[in-house]
Structure 1
């Protein structure tokens, strides 16, 4: 669907650990751009409705985290999890999930998600604007393969999950690699 599309240029407001800062909150603001995350790399990006939500915390994020070595074996340099949440929430979720492999990207204002055409209203759940669930293989800032859950719409009554699962994305990578080898 979006294969061949160049990612939008966006600046993400992140909080990073800084050992030079004393006290209980040793973090500083650091702006990162789309290029910082995606230029010169082949990565998996997956986006979901919200940090700490059931499907995201139970299946999708842990699946990508545990499968990281399998993705690396298929030529993936990094795996990024994005949500329309601020950096404080995304960092707390990363700590709660004990992430070692997947890096979180806060799209606090939803700018990247909106420019990708994936911003939806989730007022029916009290969330406001959030990302529709999807995954993508990104090669040097360009969408190589796209995995979008069915039913993209505002206030959808369900939270479909399967098309953007780690298992589906990994299967695609293995099949694409086998086709090239054949």
Structure 2
């Protein structure tokens, strides 16, 4: 079943990128008590993800926070070390990177995609959402190959 607006974020363990290395975080705890803008990319360093998706959230971080977002986070089916390198490359200091290396989180959300035709295996779909105290209040899932509704700019219109 795919997650919907009004649903609670499912339990999963993600790896948060920190200066001291990966740190496991439980979704139930991590999303509790705050408003999070979360976006998912099929893979760090892939063309649209690096050229448009991450930069949009970096550029709009202040505007998102001004609209009440407490935390901006990116997730991908990559390991924490890849996401750390991607954050450095994308100058994404204000974005929390949450690695979903085994795709457990996107599987629990029902938002996987088959990237095996590109040598990528199971990945997360491109999406964005607002999670308020663990509950999804906005959800924007892209059609395959598209980049319109999951952008930071679009998410801003929903706040």
Taking structure 1 as the reference length, the TM-score comes to 0.82
* Other-structure match for 1:144: 137
Match of 1:170 in 2: 156
How many aligned residue pairs are there? 157
Runs of 5+ consecutive residues of structure 1 not aligned to the other structure? 19-26, 152-158, 174-182
For residue 92 of structure 1, the aligned residue among 72, 76, 85 is: 85
Structure 1 runs, 4 residues or longer, greater than 2 Å off:
13-18
* Root-mean-square deviation (Å): 1.4
Give 1:96-111 correspondences, 5 Å limit.
Answer: 96-111=89-104
Q: Which has the larger radius of gyration?
A: 1
Partner of 2:158, secondary structure, is helix
Structure 2: runs of 5+ lacking an equivalent: none
Query: Higher relative contact order at CA 8 Å, sep ≥6: structure 1 or structure 2?
Result: 2
Distance in 1 of aligned mates of 2:146 and 2:89: 24
Find the counterpart in structure 1 of residue 57 from structure 2. Answer: 64
The answer as to 2:26 corresponding to 1:33 is yes
Deviation at 1:150, TM superposition (A): 2.3
Q: Give 1:14 deviation, angstroms.
A: 4.1
Structure 1: how far apart are the matches of 2:85 and 2:34?
26
1:3 to 5, 21, 27: 5
